[in-house]
Amino acid sequence: MSLLSPQSIQRIDHEIAKYPADQKRSAVMSALRIAQEQHGWLPRELMASVAEHLELPAIAVFEVASFYEMYNLKPMGRHKLTVCTNVPCALSGADHFCESLKKKLGIGFNEVTADGEFSLKEGQCFGACGDAPVLLVNNHTMHSFMTEEKLDALLKELKS
């Protein structure tokens, strides 16, 4: 039984249509993303459902899910916060920003807050080095030129 919701399946099929008819497999990245949007992370059975829908061996789907950084193979906090700490960002305040973020959340990298609200991750280059410090919320919303004030406001907004 597929764990993908009808909406997810519809969205996945829209992605499948981008590729030649015999290359359904190409949609696996989008399919995993959509599945993750549906569920927050990618448990085994959900990956199996993606595999079934795309007629792929389950391990082939797992290979993809475990290769790309933005798939969550474990449960995450409701909001996954990723900060780029690579050199250009580090030169522009990312390290300092991370310290205060950790202090505010009371967790380190790769941890989840006790209330399950936030996970914190250290990211590689987002391709937005000019906007440092940059923070990504749940993979899809980027916040640029982060400051203490902007962070406080953001955390408050996300919590509510």
Binding residues for another protein, rule: CB under 8 A, are 18-20, 23, 25-30, 32-33, 44, 47-48, 54, 56-64, 66-71, 82, 85-88, 90-96, 99, 123-132, 136, 139-142
Q: Based on CB atoms, which residue is closest to another protein, 9 or 70?
A: 70
Cβ 157 to another protein shortest distance, Å:
17
Nearest to 60 by CA among 36, 38, 27: 27
Nearer to another protein, 114 or 125 (CB): 125
Taking the complex as a whole, the smallest distance from the CB of residue 46 to another protein amounts, in Å, to: 11
Smallest distance, Å, CB 115 to another protein? 26
| Amino acid, single-letter form, for residue 105 | L
Question: For 156, phi and psi rounded to 5 degrees?
Answer: -65, -45
HSE-CB at 106 with a 13 A cutoff on CA atoms is: 5
Q: Pick between residue 19 and residue 114 the one whose CB is nearest to another protein.
A: 19
CB of 132 to another protein, least distance (A): 7
Cβ proximity to another protein, 110 vs 114, nearer residue: 110
Task: Identify the three-state secondary structure at position 121.
Answer: strand
CB 108 within 8 A of CB 120: yes
Nearest to 101 by CA among 86, 80, 87: 80
Contact 30, 23 (CB under 8 A): no
**Pick 92 or 115: Cβ nearer another protein:** 92
Q: Smallest gap, in angstroms, from Cβ of residue 128 to another protein?
A: 5
First to last CA, the chain: 35
